[in-house]
A and B are shown apart, each in its own frame.
Chain A
Amino acid sequence: AQTVTQSQPEMSVQEAETVTLSCTYDTSENNYYLFWYKQPPSRQMILVIRQEAYKQQNATENRFSVNFQKAAKSFSLKISDSQLGDTAMYFCAFQGGSEKLVFGKGTKLTVNP
């Protein structure tokens, strides 16, 4: 079964600085999708960024980018120019070709003014 590991339960960063959240996963599949979801204190889960495993180019969405290392099974999220509104729980998620979406345990990110 696939597993997703987020090794950093909590992180903090100063406003305007850059922070990287780690995620590793375990799978024997070659084609799959990876996601980062954000859950602010308001509770609603929002998709931040998505990566298709067959694409070598790292996905980017404005200040959010990923470092996808397929061989290492690593999928880290980089947040540049951190803003107070980035304070949230961040969940890494994996979806294989025939499996349900599996979430990591989350990283609580606090952006300090």
Chain B
Amino acid sequence: DTAVSQTPKYLVTQMGNDKSIKCEQNLGHDTMYWYKQDSKKFLKIMFSYNNKELIINETVPNRFSPKSPDKAHLNLHINSLELGDSAVYFCASSQGEQGFGPGELFFGEGSRLTVL
């Protein structure tokens, strides 16, 4: 069983479209994250939710909207896609809120988004 699974793994779309990436974890963790990895492999946190509550919201355009229906799911919706949104988006989870424990992250396999 995959611990952190995200779908789709690949997404190719046109500028201006709206798309969603879904993430689910079966580890029973309290906290979930979205990270963006750009073409230079730089990883940057976008959002973090602890038990469905938003706790980290980095400087991300409003076009990105996370949603956590329950603590096992964290989805990412992107409106009006731009060329610069092309990247690999990683979902991750950890036990406990960052800052209250070792913070080991369990990552999904990533979703490669290509905006044409």
Contacts and interface: CB of A to CB of B under 8 A. Distances in A.
Interface of A: 33, 35, 37, 39, 42-47, 50, 52, 89, 91, 95-101, 103, 105-106, 108
B48 A100 contact: yes
A25 B113 CA distance: 31
B43 A91 contact: yes
A44 B108 contact: yes
Interface of B: 40-45, 48, 56, 88, 90, 92, 98-99, 102-105, 107-110, 112
B109 A101 contact: no
Contacts of A35: 103-104
Contacts of B99: 95-100
Contact of B103 (A101, A105, A106): A101
Contact of B104 (A47, A91, A98): A47
Given A91-B43, A100-B45, A105-B41, A44 B102 contact: no
Contact of B109 (A44, A50, A52, A91): A44
A101 B41 contact: no
Given A33-B102, A100-B48, A103-B43, A44 B56 contact: no
A52 B103 CA distance: 11
A95 B90 contact: no
Pick from A91, A96, A100 the residue with the most CB of B within 10 Å: A100
